[in-house]
C-alpha cells in the first residue's frame, strides 16, 4: 500500500511539531513535553490568528477539569522555556492581557499529506525508551494490562497501522510495521501481542471480506476501541490446524457454533473474534464473531479459563467454549463464497503474522543484547570488566551477528511482501531464524548476568521467559521448516 492517511505537521523556526506522533523536535533532537502541554502548544498553533482565552484552553486541553490559573501560567512558562522563548521578548507565545494567549510567530508552515513513516517509528522508539522500558518489569510481575500504554498505542494510530486509508487506517507498509513491532517488543513483548491478533483479523477482513464487511468492520478497528482476536487453535489441534473440530451448522440465516477453542490471545477484551470452524461440508470456514468486549459470558460463548503462562504477561490468553452460539450468515468472512475457504484466509494472514513474530524476536533480542553489553562493561571479575574476557567478547560477537542476520531476514521478507511477491518461504525463514536467535541471545544475556540474570531484578530474566513463545506461536520452528522445504521443492521443481 502506498497511500498514507493525511497527517499534519507544523514547522516554525528550527522546530517541528507533529500532533499525530506528539513529537516536538528541534532539528533531530526531541524536546520532552508532558501530553497536556503538548496539546496546549498545538491548540495555540492551530488558532494562531487569534488570542485563545483561558476558558477555551481549560475546556479543550484540560477537558473542563477545573485547574488553577497558576497551573496554566506554569504550563505556558514551561512551553516558552522549551522553545527558548524569553518572557520579555516572546518569539512564539505571547500573553494577551485578559484575552488569554496567542502564538505570535508568523512563519508557521503547515504540511498536510503524508508524513514520513520514519517519524512514526522514531516516535514509538522514543516513547518506548521513555515510558515502556522503565515500567515493563513491574507491570509484567503484576501481570497487569498496560492500560496507559495501550492508550498511547491507540493515540499513535497503531491499531489502524496496516488498515487501508480508505477505511481510516494509516496504510503502513509491512516494512514500517515490522520496525514498529520491533520497537514495541524491545520495550515489552506483550505490547506487540496486544496488536498482533488485531492485525491478523484486520488483514483477513481487508483481504477476504466482502465490501460490506470491510465497510462495517475496518473503520471501527482503526482506533483500538473495537479490537480483534484470532481463534484457530484448539485443545487437540495446533500445528495440524486442519484437524480442528469446532463445528458451525447452518440454520436459516444463521450458523450454530459448538466447540472449544484454545489459546485465544486478547480473547476477553476483543470485540471481534476471527473464528475458524468446520462447516457441514467438512471444510473450514472463517467467521467474524462479534461479542461485547470485557465480558466472559455472552449468548453461548464463555471464557472457560484463563491460561497461566511462563511469560507474555499483562495480556490474556484464554480458552473459549461455544455452546449453540449463533452467528449471522452475513458474518461468514467473504460471504457465501467464503464458505470453506477459512483456512486459506487464515494462513494467508499468518504469512504477515510471521513477519510480526520475526520482528518481535528481533526487538526482544535487541533488548537482551543491549542489557548484556552494558552489564559486561560494568561488572568486574578478576580485576577487569567481564567484557575484557575473550569468552564474553566472543559470546557478544555471536549475539550481535545473529541479531543482525535476524533483522535483515525480517526486513527482506517485509520488503518482498510490500513488493507483492509471494513470501511464504521468506517469512518462514525470517520467523524460524529470528525466533531461534532471540532465544539463544536471551539465554546468553542471562548467562552474562551470572546470578543476577536469574532474578526478577534484571530484565534479562523476562527476555528468557518471553523468547520461547516466538518459537512456538504462529507455527513452531518444525512447521516453518516444513513450509520452507515445501517451497524449496516447488521452486526447484524439475531439478
Q: What are the catalytic residues?
A: 474
In angstroms, the CA 191 to CA 152 distance is: 11
Helices (H) and strands (E) in the chain, counts: 14, 17
Which of 171, 238, 314, 453 binds ligand FAD (CB under 6 A)? It is 238
Which residue in 179, 130, 113, 110 sits closest to 30, CA to CA? 130
In angstroms, the CA 354 to CA 424 distance is: 9
Which of 264/361 has CB closer to ligand FAD? 264
* Paired sense of beta strands 272-279 and 247-251, if any: parallel
With binding defined as CB under 6 A, does residue 15 bind ligand FAD? no
In angstroms, the CA 442 to CA 310 distance is: 15
With binding defined as CB under 6 A, does residue 351 bind ligand FAD? no
Q: Is 287 helix (H, G, I), strand (E, B) or coil?
A: strand
Beta bridge partners of 22: none
Which of 188/263 has CB closer to ligand FAD? 263
Of the listed pieces 37-45, 262-270, 290-298, 459-467, which binds ligand FAD according to CB under 6 A?
Answer: 262-270
In angstroms, the CA 393 to CA 401 distance is: 12
Estimate to the nearest angstrom the gap between the alpha carbon of 258 and the chain centroid. Answer: 31
Of the listed pieces 107-115, 225-233, 322-330, 351-359, which binds ligand FAD according to CB under 6 A?
Answer: 225-233
With binding defined as CB under 6 A, does residue 265 bind ligand FAD? yes
Beta carbons within 8 Å of 347's beta carbon, 6+ residues apart: 241
Of the listed pieces 52-60, 259-267, 335-343, 361-369, which binds ligand FAD according to CB under 6 A?
Answer: 259-267
Site for ligand FAD (CB under 6 A): how many residues? Answer: 21
C-alpha distances in Å from residue 63, one per residue of 39, 56, 74, 93, 127? 11, 10, 18, 22, 24
With binding defined as CB under 6 A, does residue 309 bind ligand FAD? yes
Three cell numbers at 456? 526478577
Which of 82/231 has CB closer to ligand FAD? 231
* DSSP-assigned letters across all residues of 132-150: IHHHHHHHHHHT---HHHH
In angstroms, the CA 178 to CA 352 distance is: 10
Backbone torsions φ then ψ of 259, nearest 5 degrees = 150, 180
Which of 77/305 has CB closer to ligand FAD? 305
E strands, 42-119, where? Answer: 93-96, 100-103, 109-113
Which of 3, 73, 147, 239 binds ligand FAD (CB under 6 A)? It is 239
Q: In this structure, are residues 260 and 330 in contact, taking their beta carbons and an 8 Å threshold?
A: no
With binding defined as CB under 6 A, does residue 472 bind ligand FAD? yes
What is the smallest separation between the CB atom of 378 and ligand FAD, expressed in angstroms?
33
Binding mask 428-467 for ligand FAD (x = CB under 6 A): ----------------------------------------
What is the smallest separation between the CB atom of 276 and ligand FAD, expressed in angstroms?
8
In angstroms, the CA 387 to CA 375 distance is: 8
Which of 18/233 has CB closer to ligand FAD? 233
Which of 146, 206, 363, 473 binds ligand FAD (CB under 6 A)? It is 473
What is the smallest separation between the CB atom of 169 and ligand FAD, expressed in angstroms?
21
With binding defined as CB under 6 A, does residue 259 bind ligand FAD? no
What is the smallest separation between the CB atom of 40 and ligand FAD, expressed in angstroms?
40
In angstroms, the CA 163 to CA 172 distance is: 8
What is the smallest separation between the CB atom of 437 and ligand FAD, expressed in angstroms?
18
Which of 20, 161, 190, 231 binds ligand FAD (CB under 6 A)? It is 231
Which of 57, 83, 232, 274 binds ligand FAD (CB under 6 A)? It is 232
With binding defined as CB under 6 A, does residue 312 bind ligand FAD? yes
Which residue in 413, 407, 409 sits closest to 441, CA to CA? 407
Three cell numbers at 386? 567481564
| Cβ atoms within 10 Å, residue 63 | 9
What is the smallest separation between the CB atom of 227 and ligand FAD, expressed in angstroms?
12
What is the smallest separation between the CB atom of 307 and ligand FAD, expressed in angstroms?
7
Which of 132/469 has CB closer to ligand FAD? 469
Which of 83/483 has CB closer to ligand FAD? 483
Q: In this structure, are residues 196 and 361 in contact, taking their beta carbons and an 8 Å threshold?
A: no
Of the listed pieces 58-66, 68-76, 228-236, 289-297, which binds ligand FAD according to CB under 6 A?
Answer: 228-236
Which of 110, 478, 486, 490 binds ligand FAD (CB under 6 A)? It is 478
Which of 37, 263, 322, 417 binds ligand FAD (CB under 6 A)? It is 263
Which residue in 148, 288, 168, 293 sits closest to 222, CA to CA? 168
In angstroms, the CA 363 to CA 320 distance is: 30
What is residue 296's DSSP assignment? S
With binding defined as CB under 6 A, does residue 356 bind ligand FAD? no
Q: Is 279 helix (H, G, I), strand (E, B) or coil?
A: strand
Binding mask 166-205 for ligand FAD (x = CB under 6 A): -------------------------------x--------
User: Which positions touch ligand FAD (CB under 6 A)?
Assistant: 197, 230-233, 238-239, 263-265, 309, 312, 317, 469, 472-476, 478-479
Amino acid at each position: 500500500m502506498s497511500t498514507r492517511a493525511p497527517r499534519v505537521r507544523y514547522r516554525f523556526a528550527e522546530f517541528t511539531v507533529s500532533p499525530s506522533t506528539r513529537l516536538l523536535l528541534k532539528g533531530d533532537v526531541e524536546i520532552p513535553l508532558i501530553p497536556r502541554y503538548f496539546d496546549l502548544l498545538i491548540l495555540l498553533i492551530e488558532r494562531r490568528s487569534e488570542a485563545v482565552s483561558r476558558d477555551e484552553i481549560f475546556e479543550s486541553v484540560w477537558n473542563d477539569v477545573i485547574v488553577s490559573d497558576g497551573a496554566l501560567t506554569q504550563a505556558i512558562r514551561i512551553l516558552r522555556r522549551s522553545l527558548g522563548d524569553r518572557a520579555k521578548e516572546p518569539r512564539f507565545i505571547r500573553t494577551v492581557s485578559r484575552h488569554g494567549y496567542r502564538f505570535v510567530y508568523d512563519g508557521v508552515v503547515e504540511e498536510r499529506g503524508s508524513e514520513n513513516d520514519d517519524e512514526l517509528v522514531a516516535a514509538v522508539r522514543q516513547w518506548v525508551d521513555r515510558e515502556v522500558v522503565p515500567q515493563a518489569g513491574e507491570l509484567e510481575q503484576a501481570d497487569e494490562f498496560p492500560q496507559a500504554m495501550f492508550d498511547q498505542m491507540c493515540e499513535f494510530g497503531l491499531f489502524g497501522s496496516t488498515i487501508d486509508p480508505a477505511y481510516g487506517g494509516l496504510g503502513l507498509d509491512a516494512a514500517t510495521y515490522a520496525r514498529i513491532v520491533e520497537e514495541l517488543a524491545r520495550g515489552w513483548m506483550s505490547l506487540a501481542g496486544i496488536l498482533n491478533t488485531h492485525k491478523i483479523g484486520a488483514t483477513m477482513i481487508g483481504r477476504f471480506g466482502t465490501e460490506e464487511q470491510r465497510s462495517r468492520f475496518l473503520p471501527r478497528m482503526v482506533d483500538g476501541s473495537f479490537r480483534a482476536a484470532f481463534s484457530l487453535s484448539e485443545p487437540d489441534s495446533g500445528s495440524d490446524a486442519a484437524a480442528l473440530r469446532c463445528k458451525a451448522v447452518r440454520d436459516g440465516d444463521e450458523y450454530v457454533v459448538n466447540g472449544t477453542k484454545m489459546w485465544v490471545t486478547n480473547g476477553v477484551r476483543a470485540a471481534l473474534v476471527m473464528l475458524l470452524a468446520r462447516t457441514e461440508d467438512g471444510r473450514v470456514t472463517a467467521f467474524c464473531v462479534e461479542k461485547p468486549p470485557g465480558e466472559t459470558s455472552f449468548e453461548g460463548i464463555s471464557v472457560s479459563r484463563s491460561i497461566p503462562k511462563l511469560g507474555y504477561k499483562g495480556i490474556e490468553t484464554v480458552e473459549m467454549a461455544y455452546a449453540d452460539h449463533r452467528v449471522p450468515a452475513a458474518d461468514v468472512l467473504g460471504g457465501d463464497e467464503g464458505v470453506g475457504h477459512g483456512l486459506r484466509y487464515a494462513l494467508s494472514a499468518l504469512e504477515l503474522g510471521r513477519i510480526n513474530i520475526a520482528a518481535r524476536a528481533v526487538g526482544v533480542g535487541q533488548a537482551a543484547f543491549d542489557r548484556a553489553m552494558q552489564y559486561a562493561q560494568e561488572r568486574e571479575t578478576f580485576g577487569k570488566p567481564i567484557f575484557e574476557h575473550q569468552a564474553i567478547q566472543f559470546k557478544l560477537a555471536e549475539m550481535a551477528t545473529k541479531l543482525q542476520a535476524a533483522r535483515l531476514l525480517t526486513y527482506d521478507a517485509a520488503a518482498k511482501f510490500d513488493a507483492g511477491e509471494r513470501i511464504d518461504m521468506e517469512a518462514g525463514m525470517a520467523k524460524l531464524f529470528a525466533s531461534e536467535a532471540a532465544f539463544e541471545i536471551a539465554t546468553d544475556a542471562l548467562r552474562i548476568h551470572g546470578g543476577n540474570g536469574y532474578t526478577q531484578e534484571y530484565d534479562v530474566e523476562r527476555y528468557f521467559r518471553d523468547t520461547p513463545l516466538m518459537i512456538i506461536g504462529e507455527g513452531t520452528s518444525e512447521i516453518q521448516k516444513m513450509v520452507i522445504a515445501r517451497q524449496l521443492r516447488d521452486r526447484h521443481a524439475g531439478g
